[in-house]
Amino acid sequence: MLHFSGSLTRLVGELKKLPGVGEKSALRLAFHLLKYPGNIEALAESLMQVKEKVRFCSLCFAITEDDPCWICSGERDGATLCVVEEPQDLLALERSRAFRGRYHVLQGALSPLNGVTPRDLRIAELMQRLEGGEVREVLIATNFTVEGEATALYLTRMIKPLGIKVTRLAHGIPIGSDLEYVDAATVQRAVEGRSEL
Amino acid sequence: MLHFSGSLTRLVGELKKLPGVGEKSALRLAFHLLKYPGNIEALAESLMQVKEKVRFCSLCFAITEDDPCWICSGERDGATLCVVEEPQDLLALERSRAFRGRYHVLQGALSPLNGVTPRDLRIAELMQRLEGGEVREVLIATNFTVEGEATALYLTRMIKPLGIKVTRLAHGIPIGSDLEYVDAATVQRAVEGRSEL
C-alpha cells in the first residue's frame, strides 16, 4: 500500500476514523472513490462547506447554518420545550410532525463511567432558558438507554422544583410490530399505559 | 434536514454515493464528522491530495503517484506477468509475497451483460506488452467469478497463439478452513489438484 501512494494511504487512514469503517472497508471506499474522480472533488468540497458553514444554534444547540436556528427563530409554541441528546434525535422528532414546541439539544447524555458529567452537557444553558418563565412543560426525549434514563431522572429533579411540568415520551409497542417478538419489558409498559378506545 | 443546513444535506448526498452507504449511514457519518471538525478538514484534504497525485501507471495501469510505478521501474522478474482485474487484487498478491514478477491491471472484467467488452479493458495494452518478447509466462489472476473466468478464457485464447505459457491461480481449500464447511465444488478442485507429500 505504502509503496503505491502515500496520499492514498493517508486517505485510508482518515476513512478508518469513521464509525463502522475498518481497514478493509476504508480500502474499498478509497478504491471506489478513485474510480470516480468527480465524486472525490464533490465530497471534499461538501466536507469543507460543512466545516465552514455548520455551527450550533446559540439557543438550542441544534446544528444550523444561521444563528439562531430556524426553529428557535420560527413561530413555534414557546411553552413546551423538548430536550434531546443529539441533533439527530431532534430530526427524528421533526419527522414525526407530532411536536410543535421548541427544542434543547444536550449534546450527549450523562455517563459517569465515560466521564460525562452534567458540566459536559448543555444543562446550565437549559436551566437558564427555563428561568425565562415562558416554558410550562419540558418533554424529556433522551434515549431509553441507561445513560438516557439517568439523564432524564437528573433533569426531572432539577426542573420540577421550578414548578414546570416534566413529561417523558411514552413507552409501548412500536407500530407494525408482531407482539410475539416484542420484549417483555416493552409489553409490560404497553399494558400499564393502555388507553381506552 | 433541509431546514437545518444545505451544506449538510449536500454532504449526506455525497456520502450516499459510496458503496454500502445508504441514507441512514450517510446521516450517521455526517453527524459523526460534525463532532470532529479536525477530522473533516483532514478527510477533505486527503481526498484532494488523492485526486491530485494518484494516477494510473502507464505500463501496468496500477495506481501510483510516480509513473512508471515502483513495480514496473523496480527489479522484478520480467519473464512472468500477472494479470489482475483491479489494483486492489494486485495488493492482495503483493501481500502474499509469492509473486516476484510484474503485473498488468485490466481495470475490470469482461461482462457483456453490463456492457463491458474487451475494448473497455486494458487488453490491447497487455497484448502490446507481450509483443516485446520478454514475457514467457502470463499468470491470470482474475477473480473466480463468472466475469473473471470468462476474462481468463478470453485472454488464454489471445495469448496462447503467441507461444507464451498461460497459468491460472490454483483452486483449493483455503488455509484454516473446516472441511465440513467448504463448498463441494472447491473440495472437488482440491482433490483433483492434490499434491504428493
pLDDT, tens digit, 9 for 90 and up, residues A125-158: 999 999 989 999 999 999 999 999 999 999 999 9
Q: Does B19 touch chain A (CB under 8 A)?
A: yes
For residue B196, the model assigns a pLDDT of 75
Interface residue B40 vs chain A (CB under 8 A): yes
DSSP code for B61: -
Q: Mean of the per-residue pLDDT values for chain A?
A: 90
Sign of torsion, CA B31 B37 B43 B47? Answer: positive
pLDDT digits (tens, 9 = 90+) for A22-68: 988 998 899 899 888 888 999 999 999 998 999 999 999 999 998 89
Would the pLDDT of B166 be above 90? Answer: yes
Q: Does B24 touch chain A (CB under 8 A)?
A: no
Burial class (CB in 10 A: 0-12, 13-18, 19+), B46: buried
Q: What is the pLDDT of residues B125-153, one digit of tens each?
A: 999 999 989 999 999 999 999 999 999 99
Query: Given this model, what pLDDT does residue A186 score?
Result: 86
B1: pLDDT strictly greater than 70: no
> Where does the pLDDT of residue B44 fall: very low under 50, low under 70, confident under 90, or very high at 90 and above?
very high
How many beta-carbon contacts under 8 Å exist across A and B? 160
Where does the pLDDT of residue A3 fall: very low under 50, low under 70, confident under 90, or very high at 90 and above? Answer: low
CB B46 within 8 A of CB A48: no
Closest CA of chain B from A193, distance in Å: 31
pLDDT of A183: 86
- Contact by Cβ (8 Å): A53, B40: no
Q: Which of B164, B166, B169 is nearest to B148 (CA)?
A: B169
3-state secondary structure at position A119: helix
From chain B, the residues in CB contact with A1 under 8 A are: 91
Q: How far apart are CA A28 and CA A24, in angstroms?
A: 6
Considering only CA atoms, which of A154, A160, A120, A153 is closest in space to residue A137?
A: A160
Q: What dihedral do alpha carbons B13, B18, B20, B26 form, nearest 10°?
A: -30
What is the spatial distance between Cα B141 and Cα A36, in angstroms, rounded to a whole number? 24
pLDDT by residue (tens digit) across B94-107? 888 888 999 999 99
In this complex, which of A1, A29, A39 lies closest to B14 when CB atoms are compared?
Answer: A39
Q: For chain B, say whether A64 makes contact (Cβ under 8 Å).
A: yes
Q: Which domains does chain A have, with CATH numbers?
A: 6-53 (1.10.8.420), 78-168 (3.40.1360.10)
Cβ distance of A11 and B51 shorter than 8 Å: no
Looking at chain A from residue 91 to 130, which residues have their Cβ under 8 Å from any Cβ of chain B? 91
How much of chain B exceeds pLDDT 70, in percent?
Answer: 98
Q: Which of A106, A105, A143, A140 is nearest to A121 (CA)?
A: A106
What's residue B151's pLDDT? 96
pLDDT reading at A176 higher than 90 = no
Give the tens place of pLDDT for each residue, B109-123. Answer: 999 999 999 999 999
From CA B76, how far away is CA B99, in angstroms rounded? Answer: 10
Candidate from A3, A27, A52 with C-beta closest to B70 = A3
* Average per-residue pLDDT for chain B: 90
Establish if A11 touches chain B: CB-CB under 8 angstroms: yes
